[in-house]
A and B are shown apart, each in its own frame.
Chain A
Amino acid sequence: MLNDSSVRELLRADFVNCWMLAKDLEPLAARSDEDLARLCKLLKANYGYPVDSVLVDADLTVRGHVNVHDENACDPASYVAFLRKGLADAGRTATAVATDKAAAGAAARHKGVPSLPLTLTPERPTTSHLDTFTARGFGQVSMSFLSIDATAFADGGTLEVEVRVGSGNASGRFELCAPADQPRGNGKSRFMQPVQEGVTVARETTQKLVHEFAKGDHFGLAVMPAPGTSEGETNAFLATVTIRKR
Chain B
Amino acid sequence: MRSAALPLWLLTLGATLAAQESMPPLRLQPFELVLQAHWETLTDTTYHFEKNFALVRELAPAAKQATYGASHFEPLLPPDAVEVGALWRFDAAAALPFLRQLHAGARIELHADRGAGISAHGAWACLRSLTADYAEIALRVHAEFLIDGDGADRASSWFTPAQFRGRLALDRRNGRVVAFQLLVPPSRANVDLNMHTDDGTICDIGSIPRLELTSGGFPELPPDAKRLDERRADQVLERAFYPFADVEWFDLAAARKESRATKKPLHVVLLFGSLTDEAC
Contact = CB atoms under 8 A, between A and B. Distances in A.
Interface residues of A, number: 49
B124 to A, nearest CB: 9
Nearest to A56: B266
Contacts of A23: 46, 272
A90 interface: yes
B271 A232 contact: no
Contact of A12 (B203, B247, B270, B274): B247
Interface stretch (B26-34, B72-80, B159-167, B253-261): B253-261
Contact of B253 (A12, A36, A52, A63): A36
Contacts of A21: 188-189, 270-274
A40 B254 CA distance: 13
B110 interface: no
B271 A40 contact: no
B250 interface: yes
Query: Which of B242, B250, B255, B273 is packed against the most chain A CB atoms within 10 Å?
Result: B255
A56 B252 CA distance: 12
Given A8-B244, A15-B265, A58 B253 contact: no
A54 B248 contact: no
Interface string A127-146: 00000000000000000000
B173 interface: no
Contact of B271 (A16, A22, A39, A92): A22
Contacts of B239: 169
Contact of A25 (B117, B188, B270): B270
Given A21-B188, A32-B253, A16 B272 contact: no
Interface of A: 2-3, 7-8, 11-12, 14-23, 25, 28, 32, 35-36, 39-40, 43, 47, 49-58, 63, 74, 83, 86-87, 90, 92, 168-169, 230-234
22 contacts: A2-B269, A8-B244, A8-B246, A17-B248, A17-B249, A17-B250, A17-B267, A19-B275, A21-B271, A25-B270, A28-B252, A35-B256, A43-B268, A50-B272, A53-B270, A55-B266, A57-B266, A58-B262, A58-B265, A58-B266, A232-B240, A233-B243
